[in-house]
Amino acid sequence: MKQSLSVAVFAVLLSASPFVRAQQSEIAQNKSKDSVLLQEEENGTITVSNIKIDGQLMALETHEDGKFKLRDLEEAWRYDSLWLKELHSNADLFSDMLLEVQNDSELEEAFEIDLPTDTLKARLARMNEKTPFNITYNSSLESVIKSFLTRRRDLMQRMITASQFYFPLFEQELDNQNIPLEIKYLAIVESALNPKARSRVGAKGLWQFMYSTGKMYGLDVSSYVDERHDPIMATKAASKYLSRLYDIFGDWDLALAAYNSGPGNVNKAIRRSGGYENYWNIRPFLPRETAGYLPAFLATMYIFEYAEEHGLQYKKADRPYFETDTVHVKNLITFDQISKLVDIGTEELEMLNPAYKLNIIPKVEGKNYALRLPIAKIGKFVSNEEEIYAYAKKELDSLEKPLPNMVTAEDQIRYRVKSGDYLGKIAEQYGVGVSQIKSWNGLRSNNLRVGQRLTIYPRKPYIAQKTSKSNNSNSGTTVAGGSKIHTVQSGDSLWTISKKYPGVSIENLREWNGISGNNLKPGTKLKLCDCSS
């Protein structure tokens, strides 16, 4: 992800090296032990010193309350908690918007609102003069607009507020691809500006990419990272996809319809309509959701254009998206550690970095992962980067149950079908759908054969099991927590036990424990590996 740094961040970068060298020199002169020491000074500051990494000493300071004191060139940015709440609360609006789009085109409910039809016609005509979309009055569009202004009024008010965070970056990417800036309203229809939105069919993110389409446009999906949730990367991909659709149809209305239901469905609708190429003429032949898609988009555009006339007001956002910046992360680090070191809430980190599924920024060879922070916070991070990584490494190394080694994480695996396997079981094991496994492997039925190889893109964290190359090795399977024995509890079955230990199947349990049936007695000790030697 290539982002331009602000002048302030650039200044921090210039100052970082001498600052770090001076700090390291001071520590090297005064400390010689390898252990971490706590030294209380007269001003109440507690210095955490003598963290050693790659032969170099690093230091971080903390206050008496345990918070780290990191130096920076700027004062901490004032954060409006109401603004964070506004963005986090969008999660419950996604389903509301989806229901609105899927409503029948002609709404029977009569809306009482001060919007005469003649006034609406005049306003739509003015909008039509300055946009490439075909905005003409019809009763269906009027119904959707009035529905948004009454039943979905709160949703629209909150979208107007949240849009200040996302619209600047949308406009930049849309302009880069020479796409109408009005397309930014599409993200409201798609996701209600919720980067974590997920549809019932598996589309994700602000722009609702399906897995295959996201991959096609460069969005990486693995067990730990889903770039469909990343606002900038997903917007770039959506811009490229919409540009391609416009090249196909030469009409932005049809391009939007194709974005929702696919080019194939739009082509079918054109054929069934007798060759019409205007959205409103082919609308009766489109899928139901797509039939309500463009009206919802145009209604959103109208409401943003005439918000003040309808009593909808902009709540000034203290932190729009362009007042944040990114830094490439060089080592594995968790959100909890970043929160503690840079003094930023984990909720805010999740909102700024929605692509990281497990609140962990992994280190994977050949990939660059970025951390987005408010500009002032990023200054703190850059100025103390080496010390931060040293602290994170020392803390992770001391954990009783270390985090999975992210370097070995795989986003595509080849699964070998075992006796007793079926698609539902495999799908649940890796957090995917049966239909997805069938699609990835060209399967026409649910039948599997033992030994068959399946390509799977796991959604749950998956670490490749390391097996010995020696045929004589009986080291067994590495299971959760390093345990080799499971004590049967009341209600346990071979199936539930196998689910608790990755890499252990029902057939493994039968073979390793001499079990022929399915009955288990509470208290029985079951081997979880081939531990015969």
**Residues annotated catalytic, as ranges:** 190
Burial class (CB in 10 A: 0-12, 13-18, 19+), 52: middle
Number of other residues whose CB lies within 10 A of the CB of residue 343? 14
DSSP label at residue 428: H
For residues 455 and 253, what is the distance between their CA atoms, to the nearest angstrom? 37
| Whether 202 contacts 338, CB under 8 Å | no
Segment 200-207 long-range contacts (CB within 8 Å, at least 24 positions apart): 202/433, 202/436, 204/228, 204/229, 205/229, 205/230, 205/234, 206/166, 206/231, 206/234, 206/235, 207/234, 207/235, 207/237, 207/238
Closest C-alpha to 74, from 377, 340, 387: 377
Q: Bridge partners of 52?
A: 57
Helices (H), 151-251: 153-176, 186-191, 211-216, 231-249
Burial class (CB in 10 A: 0-12, 13-18, 19+), 7: exposed
The tokens 């932190």 sit on which residue? 319
Burial class (CB in 10 A: 0-12, 13-18, 19+), 457: buried
